[in-house]
Amino acid sequence: MNVRALTLFLACGFTAAQAPLPTNLPRGWERRGDALVGAPHAAPLDSGVTLANASGRIEVELQLADGRATAASLVIGGSHVGFCGRDGRPFVEGPLFGGKTRSLDLPAPAPGEAFKLVLTRRRGSLLLDWNGAIQPPMSAPDGDLGAVRLRPHRDTMTVRQFVVTGGAPAPQAIGASVTVWNNGEAGVDTYRIPALVVAGNGDLLAFAEARHGSRSDTGDIDIVMKRSRDGGRTWSAQQTVWDDGPNTCGNPCPVVVSETGAVVMLTTHNLGKDHESQIIAGTSTGTRTVWLLRSEDHGATWSAPREVTATTKLPSWTWYATGPGAGVELRAPEHRGRLVIPCDHIEAETKRYFSHVIYSDDRGATWRLGGTTPQDRVNECEVVELRDGRLLLNMRNYDRSKRTRQQAVSDDGGRTWRDQRHVPELTEPICQASIRRFSDEALMFSNPASRTGRERLVLRFSFDEGQTWPRAELLDPGPAAYSCLQRTPGGGVVCLYEAGGYREIRAHLLEPAELPR
């Protein structure tokens, strides 16, 4: 049968040798006889295989308890072959299928009906066999299409066969992770946009947006915080940092002042009823504003929010975001002590979007607008100081012809930026990422390293100040999105990231022995 890599192969009358079932099933799955059963909203079931070769074959036999518009699907990278979409019919969606959702002219499986799906990749095309009904070939891009998984979503899924042939074994993740926030905790619908700093007393402070009512970027959103006193292994109860009723308080971007230990956090705010599209179009009631919060006791208490929009945002800008992630304090003599916060904005007239920074030379008391990138089509970003005192700005890229990060450099502490370029080694599916100094000799970088979707969280290291990234370590092979890195006082690394399809925020812990020396 030439099964190159296989995690699941459940007894269904096939004669090939059966691989052992995994003992650590993902959240929401259990073994029942010769089948695996995933509850609604269970974590995706990973095959342990990626479609990295020119040809391959996926065979799935399963049942759905509901069989209606539950969006249960076969997941390939960040794309889906759905069994029952919004209109009740099967569908395909995601980058692998042109970036749009398209219904298939096929009947959805009836509740409890066993059905089989076979997807074959051959010579640049995908051929779908749906219960014996072969569909017209669909084009498939070259290269690695991503990990193969099954997602119950809002249904109960009973899997009796899940075979991937011709693929490549998925790399094994290093380190271990713990949950910091779970959706539904404290009555919150969704936690998103993680940020992480090491306080002056050595505690880890994790920040996030608590999105009430829905996952939307708009509406009642608060900034919340948790604390770890043991390097990220356990976390405190949730603390609210800023709650402005029904309005949106978001994009936490903290930085620690080394001289005093103060935690300074820049954030953005808008009316909860104003949507991003309205703010960009200039039709909203209000606009995005920039705010400052401060803690003098390692995050135990926080000052009242103070608006700093007048010195950090031009009148011709509409949308604006701080971070997401963390800021940096400069160490080089010329700008020693300067605090730099990465940001992005959209111009009112042109609708073009850029990355920029803001900075403070008085320990965060006042803030000024720094430089904007010379080219557009970039936004969410993070900044790191290089050994020679230059700054490196690493940016989310919107040039869809090049699924890689962009970067630029500054020779003057962030007042101007030059040499903006793509970084071929830093693959991205259009997402936020994190960059931080790991040591005097190395930088570290984390993002979902996939061209097709927000999955496969990878930690990379550069030993030549961001010119190349030769070492890569897998942290999470499954769905993953925004992240924030920090080096711990004990010499380890913590990556705070969105996991499980935005179902939780996790802290991934790496011990010193797992890291470059």
pTM for the model: 0.85
Q: Which two tokens stand for residue 348?
A: 């009112």
CB 63 within 8 A of CB 113: yes
Would you state the pLDDT for residue 12?
A: 33
CB 500 within 8 A of CB 43: yes
Would you state the pLDDT for residue 195?
A: 98
Is it true that 29-169 and 176-514 share their CATH fold? no
Would you state the pLDDT for residue 253?
A: 98
Q: Which two tokens stand for residue 105?
A: 């002219």
Report the CATH number of the 176-514 domain.
2.120.10.10
CB 340 within 8 A of CB 391: yes
DSSP 158-207: EEEEEEEES-EEPPPP-SEEEEEEETTGGG-SEEEEEEEEE-TTS-EEEE
Q: Where on the phi/psi map is residue 177: left (φ > 0), alpha (ψ -120 to 50), or beta?
A: beta
Alpha carbon distance 369, 236 (integer Å): 35
**Closest alpha carbon to 340 in 435, 202, 447:** 435
Burial (CB count within 10 angstroms: exposed 0-12, middle 13-18, buried 19+), residue 269: buried
Q: Determine the length of the chain.
A: 517
Would you state the pLDDT for residue 24?
A: 67
CB 254 within 8 A of CB 194: no
CATH architecture of 29-169: Sandwich (2.60)
Alpha carbon distance 399, 182 (integer Å): 33
Would you state the pLDDT for residue 23?
A: 52
Alpha carbon of residue 434 to chain centroid: 10
Residue 314 has a CB neighbour count (10 Å cut-off) of 12
Residues of the chain with pLDDT under 70: 1-24
Burial (CB count within 10 angstroms: exposed 0-12, middle 13-18, buried 19+), residue 473: buried
Q: ∠ at Cα 198 (195, 200), nearest 5°? A: 140
Please state, in angstroms and as integers, the Cα–Cα distance from residue 461 to each residue in 57, 438, 472, following that order.
Answer: 34, 8, 7
Domain layout of the chain by residue ranges: 29-169, 176-514
Please state, in angstroms and as integers, the Cα–Cα distance from residue 253 to each residue in 203, 207, 380, following that order.
Answer: 17, 9, 11
